A and B are shown apart, each in its own frame.
Chain A
Amino acid sequence: MPTDLLYGAEVVLNGLMAGVLYALVALGFVLIYKASGIFNYAQGVMALFAALTLVGIMEGQVPFSHLINATFGTDIHHFGWHVPAFAAILLTLAVMVGFAYLVQRFVFRHLVGQEPIILFMATIGLAYFLEGVGDLMWGSEIKKMAVGLPQGGSLWVEENTQWLGFGNEDFYGFFIDKLDMVATVIAVVLVLALVAFSQYTKQGRAMRAVADDHQAALSVGVSLNFIWILVWSLAGFVALVAGIMWGAKSGVQFSLSLIALKALPVLMLGGFTSIPGAIVGGLIIGVGEKLFEFSFGPMLGGATENWFAYVLALVFLVFRPQGLFGEKIIERV
């Protein structure tokens, strides 16, 4: 096999892995959008906030320590204990559920019945708020996510794919990040669990009923309030998983919240209302942008990943405005 083709294959594989991570963020969007019609721009910041909280709890940081120190002239930073990863994840989950409740109670309950665009703006405001709170609470320096996920390239894959080069000296086997493989497995498990939850449990059915028709669901006794809190908690959970994965990959920092922007074209491609759409869209975007950068990037001056996903989604939408798997948009006067 020619080496170029093999490199291409490696690029595709890495693109698939990156796509899984995009899909992970996009999932959170889809969950909330389906259940409440809210396009939650804050999803990326929720991932950042979850990751910050997780690291903060593990390290035993004192929340708002900078603010306290600045106001009272004290010098406290840490409680002095370290929480094991698993317990910290549970605690963070509790924080995210609490956040879901607060958001529902203080923001979206007051905005029921507003136009979708107003709700969208509200989530942008929420994103700013949460970002500021996250920074105030845990400090804004780059942190390491050390929850025991494997790092670096996988030697095993590299050794076992070397034969594909058929004696070609330039080819050393595929280079694949271990973390990406773990992320793929986790994402698959997460999606299966979400599907099972929404298909086979009482709350899941109620969730789907709300997604289908708010008023009909209300009339058969589904509590909208509860479902919305549930959905925001689930989105918080997905955000936590995404935050852990991205945090382990590139450190916990502000740029983490920008992955929300990367998830938007994924959603457009897959359709806002479809969980499989989020996955397929993520994979297409992941592979597409890596392949484009690989084949045309050098010609165009590189860093095409910044815009390729959006342009792809834009061109795609012109032909199919509801995305790949989205519900057909029917408009009536």
Chain B
Amino acid sequence: MFYREAGDFSTSYPEDSQTFPIRFDRYRYYLVLFVAIFVIPFTINDYWVNSIFLPFLIYAIAAIGLNILVGYCGQVSLGTGGFMAVGAYACYKLMTAFPEVSMLIHVLIAGLITAGVGVLFGLPSLRIKGFYLAVATLAAQFFLVWLFNRVPWFYNYSASGQISAPERTVFGIEVTGPNTEAWATYLFCLAFVIFSAVIARNLTRGAFGRKWMAIRDMDIAAEIIGVNPLRAKLSAFAVSSFFIGISGALFFAVYLGAVEVGEAFGITKSFTVLFMIIIGGLGSIFGSFAGAAFLVVLPVVLKLVGVDWLGWPTDIVAHLQLVIVGALIVIFLIAEPHGLAQLWRVAKEKLRLWPFPH
């Protein structure tokens, strides 16, 4: 009843091509932003931040990044964990080298460095396609993790081989290290999420995004109509790695605090983020959020139900989680290959006609 475009007249081109053309959607978006910025920070505690909000926000950035590469440009990558590790280690080196600089700048530069590495590993995509490329990106995954494990310069010659985040600030407020406030880390990550989502949304609906989608749908045809595959593919790798690098930096510096590279950024991380965008929906920014939320909340809920209510041992619940995630992926692919985002779209279509569908 409220969800209508009726009466909402666009009088200029920018108004016509805005992200949320329906007034209701627009208000909902403002409401979500308002709650996220002005309500949640004042009501959360450490448990909520560490078990739900931080992982959700950080994975959402990674999922947006991967979605640009896989969902929009069609280049399947299994190297997400490796690129996140690049972001984390770049951030670590910057944090220890320039302690007085704001974390905001560190994280952004870490993203840029990751973008460079991503372009480097994206070069083979010009020759290699499909599965072959997916496997080729595994080279990035394993090589990068090995590199950070074996070259002591990256972890500042620390005895344990781990990296741990020193205390750094943004505008005088601590966001890393052991003495952070819940709301500070939350807002810090949220800022990056909003930044990434807005940039990603505007890139994907502009000239860049159209080139990527043309390459995804058929690269030869795209080349014939004048899309430069070199620039399109490498720009997708660069933008995607930029976001993934940011999420890696946040994952290390803000969320975990201390990282052992093989454990935190191993191949399972690559698959986790890939699952998020499959479940959420390939080629959809909203899907990245939905998938990240789903896979972050699912283990928490399972643990709540399995361990706390039913009293099962944790290892059984962990195995059950594997079964459920695996089954869900298969079910999703069979029932709705376009993921949660498609369900959302269908729901909105229905809502537009509700309550008079005929």
Contacts and interface: CB of A to CB of B under 8 A. Distances in A.
A-B complex is real: yes
Interface of A: 39, 66-67, 70-71, 107, 110-111, 114, 116-118, 120-122, 124-133, 135-136, 140, 261, 264-265, 267-268, 272, 300-304, 306-307, 310-311, 313-314, 317-318, 321, 323, 329, 331-333
Interface stretch (B188-196, B207-215, B329-337): B329-337
B303 to A, nearest CB: 15
Contacts of B128: 314, 317-318, 321
Contacts of A126: 326, 330
Q: Which of B76, B132, B220, B320 has the most CB of A within 10 A?
A: B132
A245 to B, nearest CB: 23
A257 B117 CA distance: 29
Contacts of A331: 220
B99 interface: no
Contacts of B319: 132, 135-136, 140
Nearest to A39: B131
B216 to A, nearest CB: 10
Given A129-B330, A140-B319, A302 B150 contact: yes
B76 A117 contact: yes
Nearest to A267: B135
B330 to A, nearest CB: 4
B124 interface: yes
Q: Tell me what chain A mostly uses at the interface: helix, strand, loop, or mixed.
A: helix
A272 B131 contact: yes
Contacts of B327: 125, 129
A140 to B, nearest CB: 6
Given A136-B320, A261-B138, A333-B218, A70 B312 contact: yes
B292 to A, nearest CB: 17
Report the interface size class on chain B: 35 or more
A118 B333 contact: yes
Contacts of B267: 261
Interface string B120-137: 000010011111101110
A313 B313 contact: no
Nearest to B335: A110
B318 to A, nearest CB: 8
B27 interface: no
A265 B132 CA distance: 9
Nearest to B149: A303
A117 B326 contact: no
Contacts of A135: 319, 322
A268 B135 contact: yes
Given A120-B134, A125-B327, A314-B136, 8 more contacts: A66-B315, A70-B311, A70-B316, A122-B329, A132-B321, A132-B324, A310-B141, A310-B142
B337 A114 contact: yes
A140 B271 CA distance: 21
Interface of B: 76, 124, 127-132, 134-136, 138-139, 141-143, 145-146, 149-151, 218, 220-221, 224, 267, 271, 274-275, 278, 310-313, 315-316, 319-330, 333-334, 337
Contacts of A117: 76, 130
Contacts of A70: 310-313, 316
Q: Which 3 pairs between the two chains have the least Cβ-Cβ distance? A: A129-B326, A125-B329, A132-B322
Given A132-B319, A318-B128, A313 B135 contact: yes
Nearest to B330: A125
A135 B142 CA distance: 26
Contacts of B330: 107, 122, 125-126, 129
Nearest to B219: A331
B150 A317 contact: no
A133 B124 contact: no
Contacts of B275: 124
A311 B127 contact: no
Contact of B329 (A128, A136, A306, A323): A128
A247 B235 CA distance: 44
Contacts of A261: 138, 267
Given A117-B130, A272-B131, A313-B139, A131 B326 contact: yes
A14 B127 CA distance: 33
Given A129-B326, A321-B127, A300 B150 contact: yes
Contacts of A313: 135-136, 139
A38 B134 CA distance: 14
Contacts of A311: 139, 143
Nearest to A312: B139
Contact of B132 (A131, A268, A304): A268
A333 B142 contact: no
A108 to B, nearest CB: 10
Contact of B136 (A116, A307, A317): A317
Q: Which of A124, A126, A302, A331 has the most CB of B within 10 A?
A: A124
A107 B334 contact: yes
Nearest to B262: A306
